[in-house]
Chains A and B, each alone.
Chain A
Amino acid sequence: MFLVLLGILFPMMTGCSDQETLYVYNWGDYIDESVLRDFEEEFDVRIVYETYATNEDMIVKIRSGGSRYDVAIPSDYMIERMINEELLREINMDRITNYHYVKEDLKNLDFDPDNRFSVPYMWGTVGIIYNTTMVDDVVDSWEILWDETYEGDILMMDSQRDSIGITLLKLGYSLNSRDEDELEEAKQELIRQKPLVLAYVVDEGKDMMVAEEAALAVVWSGDAVIMMEENEDLEYVIPKEGSNLWFDNMVIPTTSENPELAEEFINFMTRPEIAQRNAEYIGYSTPNLGAMELLDDEITGNPAAYPPDEMLENLEVFQDPGDFLSVYDRIWTEVKAH
């Protein structure tokens, strides 16, 4: 039975081989899939599209070999790690003719200093979303998440890097700290905060804030924009102590067997009309100035999604902590198990 099935499927699979195939590996629900169809039509190729839930899932699959992904879209610190592990292929930037559309201050960042390996796909910040009917104080600092007035009304992120990062910022340190004393201090702060926290959430937080189950939450800007659309009382703030600036960039892993087509795809995704459609669908911020011009003013004028340039200076991008990751993990476990 199985052999018969194979006998039927195999010719079918090889039957398509005269058409080129592009393997794309992306976060779940992070692309307007009609864009993929357009690429297939325009370049007469077939796209095999697969998704992952975390950066770590993705790197494991690429590292282990056996896959042949041509394009992946990891986050900043993961790109740094992949460069260090030599899992990425250099992109021939001459072929990314649309690269000039990418906003200057979102280029050449520490994780990929000369953008030799990656082209920005989406970007954003981390901040506090709060319900104006439930919070009377001015929200402009991470301190408010430690304010006892809001006991049981605070949602923290169930993500070690983010939660420890904002605590380090509140204490006046870098969110990339590798100083054990600073991290110990952050741990104590998080333990002190725990009784005030209603829940540690990731995606569930969106629905909870919209349903007014909590007053304050730490969220990614892209999610904040979506929440604010659904509940008018919600407001998003990037605290004055600074915050995290994050990127998801397109890369070509060494597993790629067709880097030329991958470059074609990256260039296609950087085309203003395509980037605009994609950004509209996902709701996250596009780094593409051409696309921003095409987007509704209401979207680009929203400081939650597109913060003014002077605010960007205060933001820090995550670096790959390397072996120090286990210290972060330990601290987070201690906080959660407390």
Chain B
Amino acid sequence: MKSRMAYPYIVWLSMFIVLPLLLILYYGLTAVDGSFTLDNFQRFIDPIYLRVLWRSVELALLSTAICLVLGYPMAMIIAKTEIKRRNLMVLLFILPMWMNFLLRTYAWMTLLGRNGVINNILGWAGLPELNLLYNASAVVLGMVYNFLPFMVLPIYTVLSKMDQSYIEAAKDLGANNRKVFWKVIFPLSLPGVISGVTMVFMPAVSTFVIPRLLGGGQLMLIGNLVEQQFSYVGDWNFGSAISIVMMLFILISMALMTRFDKEQQGGVGLW
């Protein structure tokens, strides 16, 4: 019974995950005429492309760090509120995500633009106009804004399920609040932190819409490079090779994180 239930999932998985992956692998490892080659990867090992990769990783890491710093206290606040208000808070937090991602990003363009809302308010107050849009900060802002819920929710889940007796025990044994947090709460919440970090880092490192809209195309990230290969140059082979490099990169960083997690936790993960 159990195995028969699995068939639809297996069909789904192979059609929409395994097959596309194999296709990407095929394109990445072949030339235009279909012969086997490693040229696509060789081409990627070039300072300009590596710089693009590095810049994407840098911005994604920065956004992830900001999300963590902003998201952790948020998750704690939600986890500590009484259950009725807590659900409302989670709902309010998720509500913006019901709106289209592009729409939310466009909204930031209206807010940050030269004649945008923020600059209008500044002008009103007699303050000088700021260049808020089309730079790296705007891109990071866009990433943090869009991906923050992915950080908050897993941490919140872990925190709200945490056994309160550990905390009480620590307090009984004379630990002050700071010590309780760093020695008990934070280590216990690591699985949530790790899944939050992964869920923010992955979309952040591969996004191409945010740098295009909020970065004004001034910053080229790895997602833009892939998109350029597919929709403008028509070089599916190189585009696939870049995607493979990116996937490997994400895979390695995830492996490192889970290893770190195991060392700390003895293998209790969220997923």
Question: Residue B231 at the A interface, CB < 8 A?
Answer: yes
- Cα A7 to Cα B117 in complex, Å, equals 55
In contact, B113 and A337 (Cβ under 8 angstroms): no
Encode A310-338 as 1/0 by CB contact (under 8 A) with B. 00000000000000011001101110110
Query: CA A152 – CA B232 in complex, angstroms?
Result: 26
Complex partner residue of A326 from B219, B231, B233, B236, CB under 8 angstroms: B233
Among B49, B131, B233, max chain A CB count under 10 A is at B233
Chain B positions within 8 Å of A57 at CB level: 231
Chain B interface, number of residues (Cβ within 8 angstroms): 31
Task: Determine if A333 and B49 form an interchain contact, defined as CB atoms under 8 angstroms apart.
Answer: yes
Chain A: minimal CB distance from B24 (Å): 15
CA A113 – CA B11 in complex, angstroms? 50
With A160-B232, A199-B134, A213-B114 as given contacts, are A333 and B225 in contact (CB-CB < 8 Å)? yes
In the complex, per-residue mask of A152-176: 1 if CB is within 8 Å of any chain B CB, else 0 = 1000001110000000000000000
Report which of B134, B220, B229 forms a contact with A336, defined as CB distance below 8 A. B220
When distances are taken between beta carbons in the complex, the residues of chain B under 8 Å from A199 are: 133-134, 215-218
Cβ proximity bits A175-206 to B, threshold 8 Å, 1 near / 0 not? 00000000000000000001001111100100
Alpha-carbon separation in the docked complex, A211 to B113 (Å): 10
Is the pair B233, A325 in contact by a Cβ cutoff of 8 Å?
yes
Among the listed A59, A204, A214, which residue makes an inter-chain contact with B213, where contact means beta carbons less than 8 Å apart? A204
Contact A56 B232 (CB under 8 A): yes
| Contact (A329, B216) CB under 8 Å given A198-B134, A213-B114 | no
Contact present for A337 and B220 (CB under 8 Å): yes
Q: Which of A32-73 contact B (CB under 8 A)?
A: 53-54, 56-57, 59-60
Cβ of B194 to closest chain A Cβ, rounded Å: 31
How far, in whole Å, are A204 and B109 apart by their CA atoms in the complex?
10
With A56-B232, A59-B234, A326-B233: A201-B49 Cβ-Cβ less than 8 Å? no
Q: Are B232 and A200 in contact (CB under 8 A)?
A: no
Chain B residues with Cβ below 8 Å from A211 are: 113, 115
| Contact partner, A54, options B113, B217, B232, Cβ 8 Å | B232
A337 touches B115 (CB 8 A): no
Q: Are A198 and B115 in contact (CB under 8 A)?
A: no
Is B115 within 8 A of A201, CB to CB? no
Interface status of A273 (Cβ within 8 A of chain B): no
Is B232 a contact of A159 with CB atoms below 8 Å? yes
How distant is A32 from chain B, measured CB to nearest CB, in Å? 26
Q: Mark B47-59, 1 if CB is under 8 A from A, else 0.
A: 0110110010000
Asked if B258 CB lies within 8 Å of chain A CBs, one says: no
Chain B residue numbers with a CB within 8 Å of A53 are 231
A280 contacts the other chain (CB 8 A):
no
Q: Which residues of the partner chain B approach A201 to less than 8 Å between Cβ atoms? A: 216-217
CB-based nearest B residue for A56? B234
A257 an interface residue at 8 Å Cβ cutoff?
Answer: no
Contact B228 A329 (CB under 8 A): yes
Given A199-B218, A201-B216, A329 and B233 contact (CB-CB distance below 8 Å): yes
- The proximity string for B residues 191-227 relative to A, scoring 1 for CB distances below 8 Å and 0 otherwise, is 0000000000000000000001101111110001100
Does A264 reach chain B (CB closer than 8 Å)? Answer: no
Give a binary string over B105-137; 1 marks a CB under 8 Å from any A CB, 0 the rest.
Answer: 000010001110000000000000001011000
The answer to whether residues A326 and B48 also contact, given A336-B220, A337-B55 and a CB cut-off of 8 A, is no
Q: Is B235 an interface residue (CB 8 A)?
A: yes
Which residues of B225-253 have CB atoms within 8 Å of chain A's CB atoms?
225, 228-236
Cross-chain contact of B52 among A56, A198, A200, A333 (Cβ < 8 A): A333
Cα A300 to Cα B228 in complex, Å, equals 36
Does any Cβ of B come within 8 Å of A212's Cβ? yes
CA distance A213 to B220 in the complex (A): 22
By the criterion CB–CB under 8 Å, are A213 and B113 in contact? yes
**Do A333 and B48 contact each other (CB < 8 Å), given the known contacts A152-B131, A199-B134, A200-B217?**
yes
**Chain A residue with minimal CB distance to B213?**
A204
Chain B's closest residue to A204 (CB) is B213
CB distance from A219 to the nearest CB of B (A): 15
B53 to A, closest residue via Cβ: A337
CB proximity of A218 to chain B, nearest CB, Å: 13
B205 to chain A, nearest CB (A): 16
Give CA–CA (A311, B133) in the complex, Å.
37
Residues of chain A within 8 A (CB-CB) of B131 are: 152
Shortest distance in angstroms between B133's beta carbon and chain A's nearest beta carbon? 8
| Interface hits, B134-164 → A, CB 8 Å | 134
A6 to chain B, nearest CB (A): 16
> Measured between alpha carbons, how far is A57 from B234 in the docked complex, in Å?
8
Chain B residues with CB under 8 A of A334: 48
Q: What chain A residues lie within 8 Å of B233 (beta carbons)?
A: 56, 160, 325-326, 329
A56 partner residues in chain B, CB cutoff 8 A = 230-234
Closest CB in chain A relative to B134 CB, distance in Å: 5
Distance (Å) between the CB of B256 and the closest chain A CB? 26
Set B51, B115, B218, B225: member contacting A200, Cβ < 8 A: B218
12 inter-chain pairs at a CB distance below 8 angstroms, sorted by A residue, are: A56-B233, A60-B234, A158-B217, A160-B228, A160-B232, A197-B218, A199-B133, A200-B216, A326-B233, A329-B229, A333-B220, A336-B220
Q: Which 6 pairs between the two chains have the least Cβ-Cβ distance?
A: A199-B216, A200-B217, A336-B220, A56-B234, A158-B217, A199-B134
Given contacts A329-B235, A336-B219, 6 further A-B contacts (CB under 8 A): A56-B232, A160-B233, A329-B233, A333-B48, A333-B49, A336-B220
